[in-house]
Amino acid sequence: MTSDAIGPRPAPAALAISGLSKSFQGQWALRDVDFELGVGEVHALLGHNGSGKSTLIKILAGYHHPEHGAVATRNDEPFHLGSAAAASEAGLRFIHQDLGVIDELDTAENLRLGQAYQGKWWVSDRRERKAAADALASYGVHLDPGVPLSRLRAADRAMVAIVRALHSGQENSIIVLDEATASLPTEECVLLFDLVKRARDRGASIVWVTHKLHEVFSLADRVTVLRDGRKVATVPVATLDEPQLVELITGRQIENLHPVATAPSSEVILNVQGLTGPGVADASLSVHAGRVLGVTGLNGSGFDDLVHLVFGAAPRSSGEIRVGDSVLPLRHTPAQSIEAGMAFAPADRKTLSGIQSWSLRENMTLPKLRSGPVGWLSARSERRDVAVWLGRLGVVPSDPEALLSSLSGGNQQKVVIARWLRCGARVFLFEEPTAGVDVGAKTAIYEHLAAVVGLGAAVVIASSDIEEVVSVSDRVIVMREGRVVADLSGAALTVDRATAAALHESPAEKELAGQ
């Protein structure tokens, strides 16, 4: 399927992009791309990492200037490219992963920042809050407008951002959401989907950028797929199935999306007992050589704090951590964990793992393990080895001397994962390893995880994506309120049981309590 499929499409267009092209340093990031967003349509925009999605959005937002191409809004009105003011004037609103909300302010204040309603400085707090509550309620969102955003669920924060965008745009706004659910737990995404559908039904036109295939099928009317900067197809979602969509994105058929096999072993490589520290109380786990342990839960449940504590990125107040035969000291540091053979790729790769102004080679040689396959490489072999790893995970560009900052978000992620995979650790801790990574690269990451598992490493995957954790792990622990509330393996390891345990006391938890 490489051309536009025939099917019903909403008319008229809220946004029509034609022949858009943009290059960076002589390389095309977008090439002759057409894209049409219907009025009252949710249009998903997909493509592998580096396929040009962000570039397209940044052009619409006035951040980049294209070499060629034109954009028209409703009624064929030309849209002045290269100006943030023109984008705003035309009713375009952008919601990025970080949502652009201010956590210290309450909902009413956040809505006021976007001039979401006719708030005036002399309006009393009470009236302002009432106006904010009404604005939210008109989209079916019921929140106390006086509560700071930091105290709301992730989905509520995202909904405040969306309502603000809907209200501050003109009537029939055009909203571009760029991986808005990236940091949302799966079960909260449903709340966001409902809001987006309500907004669409009231005439808003929505561009939904994502790597999550199920979102396309739950939400979108049509999907446009980019590959290597070119449009591959625009297709009504009702005419597609998942394998076809994967093929459009990757250009090939992928049969097993989660290829992690585990190797039989009895040796416990990571053993954690009674771990307590910020966000975690009395957690125990053990991982055998050649095994994958998943750790999951809702945001705020402590599933992510757990891996930070194990690595020594947060201070533990009690509990024991053993890697093989060595016991790590109570106040162990990340350096001591690395020394003991641990690798950790945290979720916040931009601030915690990658140095944007360094080359890919420099970023990939950051962890200095005393032993392991990369310990004693000459500069030339190092360059060659880095290039091999970049090629394995399909990092684009694959030039070891390219700066990390010049890569798309997903490609930066692959570099950080590749860095740890090549360092020859015994215990791999991965937090949200495939968030923001395209479907083809996900498979590549899991293939490489399978390879390290096959070599006898122990892998811990901490992720809020319950489905993925269940499909790649042979055992999953579920956390709630800082405690391990379920330990699932074998026939008991199902998405339903893990989700139920994450949300409330489940049969799995009762079983655990009875053990």
Site for ligand ATP, rule CB under 6 A: 24, 29, 47, 49-55, 396, 406-411, 438
Closer residue to ligand ATP in complex, CB, 396/512 = 396
Q: How far is the CB of 440 from ligand ATP (least distance, A)?
A: 11
φ, ψ at 354 (rounded to 5°): -110, 145
Closest approach, Cβ 324 to ligand ATP, in A, equals: 36
Minimum distance from CB of 232 to ligand ATP (Å)? 13
Provide, rounded to whole angstroms, the least separation between the CB of residue 358 and ligand ATP.
15
Cα(310)–Cα(316) distance, rounded to whole angstroms? 8
Considering the complex, state which of residue 406 and residue 471 has its C-beta at the smaller distance from ligand ATP.
406
CA distances from 31 to 52, 201, 246, 318, 354 (A): 9, 33, 21, 56, 29
Closest residue to ligand ATP in the complex (CB)? 410
Q: Which is nearer to ligand ATP, 92 or 396 (CB)?
A: 396
**Among residues 131 and 249, whose Cβ is nearest to ligand ATP?**
249
Phi, psi for residue 145 in degrees, rounded to 5: -70, -10
Burial bucket for residue 354 (CB in 10 Å: 0-12, 13-18, 19+) = buried
Residue that is written with structure tokens 């020859």 in the block: 424
- Please, what's the b/e burial string for 472-499 (b: 16 or more CB within 10 A of its CB; e: otherwise)? bbbbbbbbbebebbbbbeeebbeeebbb
Residue whose CB is less far from ligand ATP, 107 or 434:
434
> Which of 349/475 has CB closer to ligand ATP?
349
Q: Rounded to the nearest 5°, which phi and psi values hold at 19?
A: 60, 35
Sorted by sequence, the CB contacts under 8 Å of residue 66 that are 6+ apart come out as 20, 21, 22, 30, 59, 81
Least distance from C-beta 443 to ligand ATP, angstroms? 15
Shortest Å, Cβ 308 to ligand ATP: 25
CB of 7 to ligand ATP, least distance (A): 25
Measured distance CA(155)–CA(451) in Å, rounded: 36
**Of 20 and 160, which has the nearer Cβ to ligand ATP?**
20
Do 353 and 313 form a contact (C-beta atoms < 8 A)? Answer: no
Site of tokens 């003991």: 340
Q: Is the C-alpha dihedral spanning 273, 471, 190, 223 positive or negative?
A: positive
